[in-house]
């Protein structure tokens, strides 16, 4: 019963984090829109029926029933149409498409709004207004990742021995020991589980990465200094050559790629270890690159998602997850009974990853995403500056509304992909181990 309650609590906590992330995204748009004098009639977190709202000044603030998005309404997001009308437009991709872009805004126009229209602001100001939303998510991700890495830490291999391999077997074979296999150098040296290696060949070792590299580079007789129960012991053995997994530039094993290297035959233990500021920045850079790679790879994931959702095939660990799947993972994390700090770290990392994904996705230069409006502002700035250079008439504001057919296609594809991910998250979810 307790496990079920913790799982439900994890789902609730994730959705609270989701709502806060959405609220901050829209707050970014709102703050700079107001700073630049644009009238914003509405600020809403969620979609569907309004649960609560309050009008303060000229803006109505509220919460809606479905916590899967949010929006602000800005007057004059698009320039007038051929009939001279000006519309109120939403930053929400879905709400924005279903509004009648021209007539709805014309009805909301109030006396004095002529000087408070978004499209009349300089392109760089419109760019900032649209960028401010995703940038808030990037800041949230940065702060959460930095806090988790530096305060709680990350699971890292240490120089403490977790297990000793009894014999030398090529890692490419993946089999048990045979009587004919030679004893591993670690076994021959008398290395034991729990020994903490403090020096190799008389030189101190600070971390597993450095120790692993030195073992791989070694050949022949070596000395290993270990801390065993508070006492230091010096062990000697002969390093053998073995086929082991290759490592990438970051020191991570490369699956199914092997090299000949020095081999002792023991596995390191892992521990949650706080990172330094520099290590945290490096790790965030790695995660940012991984997020970009995942975004680029999304189309290639569709066949696997389809097979997982409808053909009963195994859901891959790197399969895309939607809000439902992420909430489910949050629930599972809470129900694992892990130490409190580890659970907090996992939950914060989950929310941080969601914010990083929001930033990257919204930066795509496609309508109806924020990146599409930003691209429109940049294109207008380029056109106007080129007109000045070549002494041509000012072409005026770029009418992003003309790209709405593209927005319909993009939104349609995204809705289909979201529906596929949702089905996969329900019938064949990604599970943590």
Q: Which residues are catalytic?
A: 26
Cα–chain center distance at 249? 22
Structure tokens at 70: 């949010």
**Hey, what's the torsion of the CAs at 95, 101, 103, 107, to 10 degrees?**
60
- For the chain, count helices (H), then strands (E): 11, 10
Distance CA 218, CA 221 (A): 9
Q: Is the dihedral of CA 171, 157, 228, 241 positive or negative?
A: positive
3-state SS, residue 167: strand
Q: How far apart are CA 299 and CA 264, in angstroms?
A: 43
Structural tokens at position 225 = 């200094």
State how far the Cα of 145 lies from the Cα of 141, in Å rounded to an integer: 6
CA-to-CA separations, 173 to 214, 256, 282, 349, in angstroms, rounded: 24, 11, 34, 36
- H helices present in 240-336, as ranges: 277-310, 323-335
Taking each helix axis as running N to C, give the angle between helix 323-335 and helix 404-427, from 0 to 180 degrees, rounded to the nearest 10.
30
Nearest to 354 by CA among 4, 5, 9, 16: 16
Determine the angle formed by the axes of helices 123-147 and 370-389, rounding to 10 degrees: 140
């Amino acid at each position: 019963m307790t496990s079920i309650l913790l799982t439900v609590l994890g789902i609730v906590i994730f959705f609270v984090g989701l709502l806060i992330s959405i609220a901050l995204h829209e707050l970014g748009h709102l703050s700079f829109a107001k700073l630049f004098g644009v009238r914003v009639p509405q600020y809403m977190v969620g979609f569907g029926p309004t649960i609560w709202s309050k009008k303060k000044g000229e803006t109505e603030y509220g919460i809606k029933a479905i916590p899967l998005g949010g929006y602000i309404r800005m007057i004059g997001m698009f320039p007038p149409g051929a009939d001279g009308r000006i519309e109120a437009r939403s930053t929400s991709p879905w709400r924005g498409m279903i509004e009648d872009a021209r007539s709805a805004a014309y009805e909301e126009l109030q006396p004095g709004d002529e000087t408070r229209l978004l499209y009349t602001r300089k392109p760089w100001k419109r760019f900032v207004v649209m960028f401010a939303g995703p940038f808030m998510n990037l800041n949230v991700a940065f702060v959460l990742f930095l806090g988790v890495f530096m305060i709680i830490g990350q699971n890292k291999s240490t120089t403490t021995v977790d297990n000793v391999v009894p014999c030398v077997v090529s890692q490419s074979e993946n089999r048990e020991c045979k009587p004919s296999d030679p004893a591993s150098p670690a076994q021959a040296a008398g290395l034991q589980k729990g020994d903490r290696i403090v020096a190799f060949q008389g030189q101190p070792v600070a971390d597993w990465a450095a120790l692993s590299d030195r073992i791989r580079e070694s050949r022949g007789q070596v000395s290993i200094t270990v801390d065993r129960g508070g006492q230091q012991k010096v062990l000697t053995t002969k390093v053998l050559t073995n086929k082991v997994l290759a490592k990438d530039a970051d020191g991570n094993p490369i699956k199914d790629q092997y090299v000949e290297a020095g081999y002792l035959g023991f596995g390191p233990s892992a521990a949650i270890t706080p990172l330094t500021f520099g290590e945290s920045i490096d790790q965030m850079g790695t995660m940012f690159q991984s997020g970009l790679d995942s975004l680029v790879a999304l189309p290639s994931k569709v066949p696997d998602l389809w097979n997982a959702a409808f053909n009963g095939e195994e859901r891959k660990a790197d399969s895309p997850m939607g809000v439902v799947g992420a909430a489910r993972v949050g629930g599972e994390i809470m129900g694992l009974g892990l130490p409190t700090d580890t659970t907090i770290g996992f939950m914060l990392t989950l929310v941080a990853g969601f914010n990083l994904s929001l930033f990257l996705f919204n930066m795509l230069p496609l309508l109806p995403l924020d990146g599409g409006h930003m691209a429109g502002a940049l294109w207008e700035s380029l056109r106007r500056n080129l007109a000045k250079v070549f002494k041509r008439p000012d072409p005026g504001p770029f009418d992003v509304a003309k790209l709405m057919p593209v927005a319909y296609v993009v939104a349609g594809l995204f809705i289909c992909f979201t529906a596929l991910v949702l089905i996969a998250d329900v019938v064949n979810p990604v599970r943590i181990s």
